[in-house]
Structure 1
């Protein structure tokens, strides 16, 4: 019995010593959770971060300052993978699965929207759901949609994607426009005609009276801003 007790005590001491010489799995998960909370601080809606389990048999050297990071192309959105690395005293790197859910408002069509139709506020509805489960680019504010037109038909109840919308043209092909160029202490303007339709902020070609073509940024009010 005495030998059994001594053996058990030695095993417990060895286990404790091994734990002290091994990175705490809980610290790894905490590093990932804190990192994702920072990364998602500006997202619309209620964000919930869940860090996946880490194999307790994982044996990594203790690290005083573990650093969490996202792999190239990865996002703090939906199912993702976060890396944790240690620079010193013993370099190592491990990857941990996590899930970021975002419960928030998004914009859906309250009535069918036809292609090319200018969208009005009354045709839109504010819905709530899991944003990470929706297609990329879904509008979260009516201001992103009102006044624009859709490239495709949108059925009632469907989320409205910003990347499928076009801005209402502020410059029309053949329309007389004013070319404006401003700099440090100077302002120059000229007249011309737009060679194509263009929405706010889009590049448009303008033909001047002498036949020269100049590219500029379309602005409201028939203005085209030129930067030299």
Structure 2
């Protein structure tokens, strides 16, 4: 009986840990807004005057398992065009493990 309870407890812990790992691929709305502002500013700088600029933020790959991060910094990868399909980099600068991913935009 004790062995069965211990097994059930282990399964529950694994399920909870898996849910926490999946939650790390969901971006904070404030971070999404910072990414949008960065991409729009870069696109406006590269576009001719008077051009309408609209940015659509894509999603991270659902298979990613990113470590928790307290500070995520968006950045423009060098040489990346800011029109059509492009990417914005996201790097963890304060977390248990440093990571760096790119987020699709258009």
Normalization by structure 1: what TM-score? 0.33
Give the number of the structure whose alpha-carbon radius of gyration is greater. Answer: 1
Structure 2 vs 1, CA of residues 37 and 93 (structure 1 numbering), >3 Å: closer, same or farther?
Answer: same
Instruction: Note if contact 2:72-2:94 (Cα within 8 Å) is conserved in structure 1.
Output: no
The structure with more strand, counted as a fraction of residues: 1
The structure with more helix, counted as a fraction of residues: 2
Q: Match of 2:63? A: 57
Whole-Å separation in 1 of the counterparts to 2:70 and 2:41: 20
Instruction: Note if contact 1:33-1:49 (Cα within 8 Å) is conserved in structure 2.
Output: yes
Whole-Å separation in 2 of the counterparts to 1:19 and 1:38: 35
Q: Does 1 or 2 have the higher relative contact order (CA < 8 Å, sep 6+)?
A: 2
- The alignment yields a C-alpha RMSD, in angstroms, of 3.2
Q: Match of 2:98? A: 91
Instruction: Note if contact 1:24-1:62 (Cα within 8 Å) is conserved in structure 2.
Output: no
Structure 2 vs 1, CA of residues 47 and 16 (structure 1 numbering), >3 Å: closer, same or farther?
Answer: farther
Q: Match of 1:18? A: 18
Aligned residues: 93
The answer for unaligned runs of 5 or more in structure 2 is none
Segments of 4+ in structure 1 off by > 4 A? none
- How many angstroms does 1:71 deviate by? 1.5
SS of alignment partner, residue 26 of structure 1: coil
Question: 1:33 pairs with 28, 31, 36, which one?
Answer: 36
Instruction: Note if contact 1:63-1:88 (Cα within 8 Å) is conserved in structure 2.
Output: yes
- How many angstroms does 1:51 deviate by? 2.1
